[in-house]
């Protein structure tokens, strides 16, 4: 079934057991306790800041799909947020790649489980907190690497379709195709891409090539953890697909 768990941590038992040199045995233990507490509070702070840095992602999706400011301004603001997000979020994520688990977002402990990836512009190294999370991560990233082109076409194509077609449709330059049509097509394309990824990827049998070559950078998923992103994909993907079905069935039945 699952991968054999890796060797458990060796612990921090570096001091000699008992013996005449008993004095230093207390200090390292206290220092370890302090280190663990510091790592714990740092891990919690990382989680909170990571969540805040992730918030532009749903805001961009809301701007893209709902166009609350009107089509042109909403899409322009969404694209601007998307392009600038990398500047601060990637810097922050890479600075913590060594100490956070890329699967769950928790502290990566001694960093024994290293996961290398080839991103579009960089080759980077991340960590997992346990052998189990490293395994899930490798299977998910391996699935994405094996389906690089469909994933790239599904997400990239959806963004291009809406960013380029949205303003034209809003002006009535695409004939019967409305912005609403494009918004639902965008959602359906994204859903049909991320649902198989999140439903199959983490459980695929083959971890794939090492290091996986990915179509998109991984710093976004590192902000809240890949596992949380998979859950978002499953929930939002299912909702968007259902919304699309209701919309197109209603539209067809209404004869509009």
User: What 3-state DSSP class applies to 212?
Assistant: coil
Q: State the nearest-atom distance from the C-beta of 43 to Zn ion, in Å.
A: 11
Tell the smallest beta-carbon distance from residue 142 to Zn ion (Å).
17
Residue 78 vs 105, nearer CB to Zn ion:
105
Q: Which is nearer to Zn ion, 75 or 104 (CB)?
A: 104
Shortest Å, Cβ 156 to Zn ion: 29
Cα–Cα–Cα angle for 101, 105, 109, rounded to 5 degrees = 40
Residue 163, classed as helix, strand or coil, is helix
Residue 165 in contact with residue 182, Cβ under 8 Å? Answer: yes
User: Whose Cβ is closer to Zn ion: residue 129's or residue 159's?
Assistant: 129
Measured distance CA(58)–CA(236) in Å, rounded: 11
Residue 85 or 136 having the CB closest to Zn ion? 136
Q: Which of 194, 155, 162 is nearest to 177 (CA)?
A: 162
- Interface residues with Zn ion (CB under 5 A) are 101, 103-104, 129, 133
Q: Taking CB positions, which residue lies at the least distance from Zn ion?
A: 101
Q: Nearest distance from residue 52's CB to Zn ion, in Å?
A: 20
> For 164, left (φ over 0), alpha (ψ -120 to 50), or beta?
alpha
Q: How far apart are CA 56 and CA 206, in angstroms?
A: 33
Nearer to Zn ion, 129 or 223 (CB): 129
The least distance separating Zn ion from the CB of residue 12, rounded to whole angstroms, comes to: 20
């Amino acid at each position: 079934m699952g991968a054999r768990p890796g060797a458990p941590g060796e612990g921090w038992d570096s001091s000699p057991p008992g013996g005449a040199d008993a004095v230093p045995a207390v200090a390292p233990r206290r220092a370890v306790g302090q280190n663990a507490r510091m790592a714990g509070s740092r891990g919690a702070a990382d989680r909170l800041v990571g969540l805040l840095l992730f918030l532009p992602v749903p805001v961009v999706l809301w701007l893209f799909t709902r166009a609350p400011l009107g089509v042109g301004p909403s899409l322009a603001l969404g694209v601007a947020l998307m392009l600038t997000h990398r500047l601060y979020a990637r810097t922050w994520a890479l600075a913590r790649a060594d100490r956070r688990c890329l699967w769950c977002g928790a502290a990566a402990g001694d960093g024994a489980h290293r996961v290398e990836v080839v991103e579009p512009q960089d080759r980077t190294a991340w960590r997992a907190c346990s052998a189990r999370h490293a395994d899930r991560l490798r299977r998910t990233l391996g699935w994405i690497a094996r389906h690089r082109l469909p994933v790239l076409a599904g997400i990239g194509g959806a963004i291009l379709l809406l960013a380029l077609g949205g303003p034209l449709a809003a002006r009535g330059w695409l004939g019967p195709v409305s912005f609403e049509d494009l918004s639902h097509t965008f959602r359906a394309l994204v859903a049909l891409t991320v649902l198989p990824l999140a439903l199959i990827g983490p459980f695929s049998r083959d971890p794939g090539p090492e290091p996986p070559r990915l179509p998109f950078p991984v710093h976004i998923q590192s902000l809240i953890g890949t596992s949380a992103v998979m859950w978002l994909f499953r929930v939002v993907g299912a909702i968007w697909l259902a919304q699309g079905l209701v919309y197109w069935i209603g539209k067809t039945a209404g004869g509009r």
